[in-house]
Amino acid sequence: MKEERLLHARAGALWAFRTGAELDAAARFTRIADAMVEHKAHRRVVELARQAAHDELRHYDRCAALARRFGATPPPLRTRDAKPLRAGDGDGRRQTLYEAVAMGCVTESLSVALLVEMRTAATDDEVAQTVTEILRDEVQHSRLGWAHLAAECEHVDVTFLAQHLPAMLADTLHEEVFATPEQTSNDALAGLGGLPRARRLAVVVAALRDVVFPGLARFGIDPDAGERWLASRIPPIGAS
């Protein structure tokens, strides 16, 4: 019984932790949509960004429900001012592209890969249903980034993003990839949505090298700086 209580406490802390990330994502997608309107982005891409913001608030509700079920108290639902992810050159259009790529092509692509792994590991029905719902939405959020990059590639030089890949990865890789407020060494916790750290890292490395970096390279964005950042930030798989 004590072991089960500890397991549920860890799962509750994890899902409460995720609610904050969902609120931040909603704020960022709202800002991206507003900026896209200002810079006359394709209407469909703007719609995807608006929908993404709405989806993230729904994800908050699902994560909060799981947090409460496992005995944790999630942060209240309220509007947040998420820290902008900046390209640093003062050009509004390039800044909007930077954020769309950071959120869609990088963060949400990695989220999709992690959620697929979480769905495989889930042993709890509500966890599995929640992960499946969020996964379906995150696929669309990832497409938003790639679609905006493809559209902008027709009008501006997007290769400037290559030099910013280390900062982009550092800013946008969800901190859950590297550390969480609870231990995740227990297979039972994986069944409740808490993948072990080594498993998360393996998924992230594979997604970056198999999906994100090749995808950026197709638009002429050299991924070498991102590869170097990855090699310095993430230890070899299997290292303690």
88 conformational bin, left if phi > 0, alpha if psi -120 to 50, beta if neither? left
Residue 240 forms part of a structural domain: no
Residue 77 forms part of a structural domain: no
Residue 90 forms part of a structural domain: yes
Give every residue of the chain whose pLDDT is below 70, as ranges: 87-89, 174-186, 235-240
pLDDT at 181: 44
- Residue 92 sits in a domain whose CATH number is 1.20.1260.10
Residue 78 forms part of a structural domain: no
Residue 122 forms part of a structural domain: yes
- 142's tokens: 């990832």
Residue 63 forms part of a structural domain: yes
pLDDT at 170: 87
Residue 183 forms part of a structural domain: yes
Angstrom distance (rounded) from CA 101 to CA 14: 27
Residue 96 forms part of a structural domain: yes
Tens of pLDDT along 52-67? 999 999 999 999 999 9
pLDDT at 91: 85
Q: Return all residues near 219 (Cβ < 8 A) that are at least 6 apart.
A: 149, 150, 153, 158
pLDDT at 239: 47
Q: Which domain, by its residues, includes 93?
A: 2-72+85-233
pLDDT at 184: 44
Query: How many independent structural domains does the chain possess?
Result: 1
